[in-house]
Amino acid sequence: MKTKDIILKYLKSRYDSKLEIKDFEDKNQCFDIITNSNSINITIEYKTRYFYIGKNDKFLLENDILVEIIQSTPYIKNTDLKKLDTQKLNVAIGWFYKCSADRLIYVRTLDNIFYDLIDIDFKIFKQWLLNNMHKYKLQYSDKTTGTINLILPYNSIPKPLYNYEKKDTK
């Protein structure tokens, strides 16, 4: 099941079965989708983290989310600060700083099957994390563009800020 299908199913079961979604993922850097129900619009940023048995499934049990702080460290590292390009710098800054969504929905999959979902009140979460960022570890990944992520155990997020749903295993 695709991430958007998982999110749509979740939103309809949690909020409103008649909820509509409009996709803006490739149209801006502030949010991915807008939901509408009863004349109320909610902007949502979503992230998916993929785990595979025998490859990286041990990280699934760490129950954390990765928050992208910097997306392209080589650009920042290799550019004369007097010659920074605004567009390239905007891309290099991680989604956390650019995002202005109401909600962050973080989906985790195991072997491409829905495992769990964390629905976070992003506006309050962002303020909370900016004030508590120093408490968490950073991780550098050179797999794509040289990304710096903050490793955040989701149980350290204040409980009123998120809803957690796990795949029904019955």
DSSP string, 91-134: HHB-HHHH---SEEEEEEEETTEEEEEEEEEHHHHHHHHHHHGG
For the chain, the farthest-separated pair of C-alpha atoms sits apart, in whole angstroms, at 59
CATH topology for 3-165 is Trna Endonuclease; Chain: A, domain 1 (3.40.1350)
Nearest CA to 149 among 46, 51, 59, 67?
67
**pLDDT for residue 125:** 98
Nearest CA to 95 among 57, 66, 60, 124?
66
Mean pLDDT, the chain cut into blocks of 10 residues (170 residues total)? 87 89 88 90 95 94 94 80 80 91 96 95 98 96 86 96 82
**pLDDT for residue 75:** 76
Q: Is 23 helix (H, G, I), strand (E, B) or coil?
A: strand
**pLDDT for residue 170:** 47
**pLDDT for residue 62:** 92
**pLDDT for residue 169:** 54
